[in-house]
Amino acid sequence: MSHTVEWNVRLRLVEEDDGTTKAHVELDTGTTALTGHGAAHCHPADPNVPEIGDELAAGRAMNNLAQQLLNAAERDIESRGGPRPGTRRAAGWLT
> Which domains does the chain possess?
8-79 (3.30.160.240)
The set of residues, in sequence order, having a beta carbon less than 8 Å from that of 71 and lying 6+ positions away, is: none
- Cα(95)–Cα(80) distance, integer angstroms: 14
pLDDT digits (tens, 9 = 90+) for 33-74: 999 999 999 888 988 889 999 999 999 999 999 999 999 999
By C-alpha distance, which of 2, 75, 95 is closest to 34? Answer: 75
- Cα(63)–Cα(65) distance, integer angstroms: 5
Q: What is the pLDDT of residue 9?
A: 98
12 confidence band (pLDDT: 50, 70, 90): very high
